[in-house]
Structure 1
């Protein structure tokens, strides 16, 4: 395994800079769409029934899209605003020293044997904050590992794997549950107009999965990833001194400020007819979840400011934007990478290539008439590969559910079971697909500890998590199915 991963790392690091990788991929898509378009290839969208042509980027229409939408592709790329906004708050907390102090006071007191598992558990639960977890958890995990004398890249890998490969798992009901359940319900109505899949239909399975993946992820980190990395000998300009009295006061004051902020937030949430709850008074979906990024951003600004004022790093209001600006300097490389990545993803989506690949792949899988466990395995493997091309889990499910849910319902499979299988496949390859824009974020954090680290370094660390998670998570699903253990309240499925 070590030789295999080393080989992947060497090959991966010989690839061009990630910026040019996306430039070359964009050029490849342009040529591919031109060739496919010559044969008048079309695809029927399974959800809308609309016939979509494979549009050529090397055409008048394509040129208009490339030039006319270039800025919109960049500025409208959702992860860009999310990452930069989060880094304003997190960066402020980091630059004034709050994160370092918090780590030294809390994590360092945790037994070293539990640090890895704590990182994974927090990472998996992080999907309650949606994509914000990709920005928060990996760099904090790297700092934790560095602080306790372990290789920071192992911590970063564990944090990224927990957030990405464990994205669908949680012990809480998250927005992902509601979003996927809604799509599944609509697809199921093609067979049974009264069938409903609720957000809690996978709750038991995903709760068990959270603990299950935490244990497996910790094992992979400590037995495969960390031994391979060896002892960290990087030149990192971070010398962690013992926590001083003024830092303790700063941490205390930041916690008080953060608690007041959370208290006010809860007051608004539970206020009668709260504007942060939905029309039915619920939280999924709700304006609160829609605004989770600004809410978390303000949380870090409040705590960072309270800490900075206490330790005298913030002595005037102008210091706050100054520290925020310093954190933005660290994101310059990411912004450049996103410009190229956003263009490639936009080209791929505009051409309808992703839809064509998804629909034809699904039809092929249906045509080979597999039954029982093999068809579930085939479905999971198909989605795992497709996820390398379509990163958005909801967009991919919106394409696949209208095809596969009716198909599996006719084979007597519960739609909630198929949805759970989809969530496994969609999550486990999140951390190795080049279309995951947060790979670039993690790569930028990685280079803070290892200037020579490249895309190959990152992918080689992530592959063990992706493969092992996929295998064991599928086994867990089959255990539920073979024993008839409910996936959620009242949702039983026997294989």
Structure 2
């Protein structure tokens, strides 16, 4: 494939638009600095609000809350004395770091890569596309690593089968990127977003907790629906568009793996089964402390403590695999691998320091409550409060992804505004969170600001040296449009049918 400019043709309007977005997006500050600037903006806004003696009636307590001035003596004291507790007490920090100890161990010892290879490469030829799509969507167990690991593996599999390798790369990247929010398991993304949601909900109700399991049912259904969508788009649109592959690229199509990988994977599965069996015994045991007072699971200490449960599962399978293949020879090795996984989270930790200050200032000043209450009144006045408001929010988030690609950073920006706002309209924070996740995931694969976009472009050029950014975007657009459309339809089906989005979670409070 040749770039449009190499054929003597100018880029089309849409490509020029994306190039403009890329240039503008590259001029944005680092997300850390964005939160610093937002914190400063809240401080200034609190001073301006206080000049007009602005206040708001809290909808839950009926108490009149004045906008507190962060530039006052009391405000400056709060800024100085709360800075460390804002950071260390920020819900997502401990949750994400804890769960990444287990997932990171499983990744560092090679378990996740082996599982991905086995799932894709052992699938029947007729089911390869579905296998790649399924593994890609499930790949967010390894967080962002899936967007680097799965596309080249999928391209190699397609190449080996005589199919167009770019089709394999396309479905691998699309599934791992656009399908990022869905999973059959409760993973790090669930813990991260639910922590931020809980912090945002506390602006109006500090007793309301969003757990990592609150979007689980919808995510489970999404895995299977989006697997089919991704496979159909690949076979009905992408492969016919690409035609027959006639490139002469020399690509490694071997399936190199550790000689003890099979045994390691078997032992990891056995460890998982043993762990789950023990967990079931603990839950089903008469008068189990993991169940609620009525003997139920929803809600229960088990669901409230789902993060350490998941941590234990990944530690178990990671250690079983690592000991078998030799990547763990002593407890020092296991600790070292976990340490490496936490090093990979250093950027997140730095970002959270700034984000936690912004959210704390937003809450303490009562500006968040003021925005939520008055925003809800405005929407009610213009009669725009129904489910289609939520659909509009999904689309808004998908467009915002062109400017801010970090899912956690964007949710930390949106949650303090939209969760209280929609709570005022009667919507559950977990419902708003699910709407956010669909919009955020769908456009991950077409924004050039996605750091993995360029990495995947380099993989693409192994098979087509003339491929450019427009090539990859043109391959991804059908997936983005299909994922976003089908997800909104599925979201509405759950809404109108009254299905739960997670254990005990309905759209309304």
1:275 corresponds to which of 254, 274, 289: 289
Report the alpha carbon displacement of residue 307 of structure 1 after superposing the two structures with TM. Answer: 1.3
Q: Residues 431 and 385 from structure 1, CA distance in 2 versus in 1: closer, same or farther, beyond 3 angstroms? A: same
Residue number in structure 2 paired with 1:99: 112
Q: Residues 305 and 403 from structure 1, CA distance in 2 versus in 1: closer, same or farther, beyond 3 angstroms? A: closer
CA distance in 1, matches of 2:366, 2:50: 11
CA distance in 2, matches of 1:44, 1:56: 17
Alignment of 1:414-433 (within 5 A): 425-430=435-440
Is 1:311 the counterpart of 2:325? The answer is: yes
Residue number in structure 1 paired with 2:211: none
Give the TM-score taking structure 1 as reference length.
0.67
CA distance in 2, matches of 1:464, 1:64: 53
Residue number in structure 2 paired with 1:114: 130
Count of equivalent residues: 413
Is 1:264 the counterpart of 2:264? The answer is: no
State the superposition RMSD in angstroms.
Answer: 4.9
CA distance in 1, matches of 2:375, 2:478: 26
CA distance in 2, matches of 1:157, 1:314: 33
Paired residues of 1:359 and 1:400 also in contact (CA < 8 A): no
SS, match of residue 43 in structure 1: strand
SS, match of residue 339 in structure 2: helix
CA distance in 1, matches of 2:452, 2:308: 22
Alignment of 1:365-384 (within 5 A): 365-369=379-383, 376-378=387-389, 380-381=391-392
Residue number in structure 2 paired with 1:298: 312
Paired residues of 1:82 and 1:293 also in contact (CA < 8 A): yes
Alignment of 1:483-494 (within 5 A): 486-488=497-499
SS, match of residue 301 in structure 1: helix
Q: Residues 283 and 392 from structure 1, CA distance in 2 versus in 1: closer, same or farther, beyond 3 angstroms? A: farther
Paired residues of 1:203 and 1:487 also in contact (CA < 8 A): no
Residue number in structure 2 paired with 1:413: none
Is 1:145 the counterpart of 2:161? The answer is: no
Paired residues of 1:37 and 1:54 also in contact (CA < 8 A): yes
Residue number in structure 1 paired with 2:19: 6
Is 1:80 the counterpart of 2:93? The answer is: yes
2:179 corresponds to which of 158, 162, 173: 162
CA distance in 2, matches of 1:471, 1:33: 40
CA distance in 1, matches of 2:380, 2:30: 39
Is 1:248 the counterpart of 2:259? The answer is: no
Q: Deviations over 1:306-364 (max 9, x none)?
A: 11111122222222112211222222222222211221122222222222222212111
SS, match of residue 65 in structure 2: strand
Paired residues of 1:380 and 1:422 also in contact (CA < 8 A): no
Residue number in structure 2 paired with 1:232: none
Q: Residues 347 and 464 from structure 1, CA distance in 2 versus in 1: closer, same or farther, beyond 3 angstroms? A: farther
Q: Deviations over 1:117-167 (max 9, x none)?
A: 4157648xxxxxxxxx7x744433542223223798985764454354x69
Give the TM-score taking structure 2 as reference length.
0.65
Report the alpha carbon displacement of residue 367 of structure 1 after superposing the two structures with TM. Answer: 1.5
Q: Residues 486 and 302 from structure 1, CA distance in 2 versus in 1: closer, same or farther, beyond 3 angstroms? A: closer
Paired residues of 2:137 and 2:180 also in contact (CA < 8 A): no
SS, match of residue 148 in structure 1: helix
Quick check: 92-101 or 472-481, which moved more? 472-481
2:40 corresponds to which of 13, 23, 27: 27
Q: Deviations over 1:224-251 (max 9, x none)?
A: 9xx9xxxxxxxxxx99852343121111
Q: Residues 209 and 288 from structure 1, CA distance in 2 versus in 1: closer, same or farther, beyond 3 angstroms? A: same
CA distance in 2, matches of 1:120, 1:302: 23
SS, match of residue 56 in structure 2: strand
Q: Please, which runs of 5 or more residues in structure 2 have no aligned partner?
A: 1-13, 156-165, 206-214, 242-251, 401-409, 444-448, 459-472, 501-509
Q: Residues 354 and 390 from structure 1, CA distance in 2 versus in 1: closer, same or farther, beyond 3 angstroms? A: farther
Q: Residues 424 and 322 from structure 1, CA distance in 2 versus in 1: closer, same or farther, beyond 3 angstroms? A: closer
CA distance in 1, matches of 2:295, 2:416: 24
Q: Residues 98 and 276 from structure 1, CA distance in 2 versus in 1: closer, same or farther, beyond 3 angstroms? A: same
SS, match of residue 318 in structure 1: helix
Residue number in structure 2 paired with 1:341: 355
Q: Deviations over 1:435-489 (max 9, x none)?
A: xxxxxxx9788899899xxxxxxxx9999988876665555677899xxx74349
Paired residues of 1:354 and 1:389 also in contact (CA < 8 A): no
Residue number in structure 1 paired with 2:70: 57
Report the alpha carbon displacement of residue 260 of structure 1 after superposing the two structures with TM. Answer: 0.9
Q: Please, which runs of 5 or more residues in structure 1 have no aligned partner?
A: 124-132, 188-201, 228-237, 406-417, 434-441, 452-459, 490-495
Q: Residues 449 and 212 from structure 1, CA distance in 2 versus in 1: closer, same or farther, beyond 3 angstroms? A: closer
Report the alpha carbon displacement of residue 69 of structure 1 after superposing the two structures with TM. Answer: 0.9
